[in-house]
Amino acid sequence: MPNLDKSLIADLPVFAGMTPDDLGDILKEAQSIRYPKGSSVFQQDEEAHSFFILLHGHLRVMKVTPDGQQVVVRFVNAGDLFGIAMAMARKTYPATATAVVDSLALVWPSAAWPRLVAKYPSLAVNTIQTVGSRLDDAHTRVVEISTQQVEKRVAHALLRLAQQAGRKSEDGIQIDFPISRQDVAEMTGTTLHTVSRILSGWEDQDLVESGRQKITIRNPHKLFMLAERPVD
């Protein structure tokens, strides 16, 4: 296998402040792996053998409850560090990651982590920030689910998706990976039926345009107002 190109990861926040030599050294321990659409990168409760950086594509991370209900924890986008369970002293992955489109990731064996962190302490410092911002997201989500009603939660979820994985098209911002009503429901703690009704309503108001596994926000500003406006 040819050496991986440093430019792949040079601009990522996790590697902020590293020299090209450092990056080369870190990359030496990684391999890149393709994950075809639908395939799983790791499974909940599986031994945390590796950690990853997504180079290309999108993953859905979800948790399954003992009684089989699913909750989408987040979507992983290009550039994101993920599967760092062992950095948090976990033996297993707390969730399942599945490719929603053909994806490509850099993969390090978990065993490399302590070694890399010892050699490059800024890696740990940057990782605290990554994990911290995820903690923030999770808290925001708790606050939202606890205090807002479904329509506003769905609006927020869509706006967030648009920001993280939106692709501008001529008539709005489209989520650039296939996403179902069920997915949105699992992100917002509701049911696909309710999401479908809400999207239908928005479609009538020309707020969004949506079809099979596809959502385009036609009027982000109006959607934002809807998401933020007080219940009055």
Q: How far is the CB of 230 from DNA (least distance, A)?
A: 13
Q: How far is the CB of 186 from a copy of itself (least distance, A)?
A: 8
What tokens does 81 get?
A: 């560090």
Q: How far is the CB of 104 from DNA (least distance, A)?
A: 20
Q: How far is the CB of 182 from DNA (least distance, A)?
A: 5
Residue 212 binding target from DNA, a copy of itself, none, CB below 5 to 8 Å by type: DNA
Helix (H, G, I), strand (E, B) or coil at 197: helix
Residue 139 binding target from DNA, a copy of itself, none, CB below 5 to 8 Å by type: a copy of itself
- Whole-number Å distance between alpha carbons of 219 and 149: 21
What tokens does 160 get?
A: 């967030």
- Given 64, 182, 216, 220, the residue binding DNA (CB under 7 A): 182
- Whole-number Å distance between alpha carbons of 176 and 180: 12
- Per-residue contact string for residues 145-164; x = within reach of DNA by CB under 7 A: ----xxx-------------
* 56, β-bridge pairs: 104
Residue 127 binding target from a copy of itself, DNA, none, CB below 5 to 8 Å by type: a copy of itself
Q: How many other CB atoms are found less than 10 A from the CB of residue 93?
A: 24
What tokens does 192 get?
A: 């696909």
- Whole-number Å distance between alpha carbons of 120 and 123: 6
Residues that bind DNA (CB under 7 A): 149-151, 180-182, 189-194, 196-197, 199-200, 203, 210-213
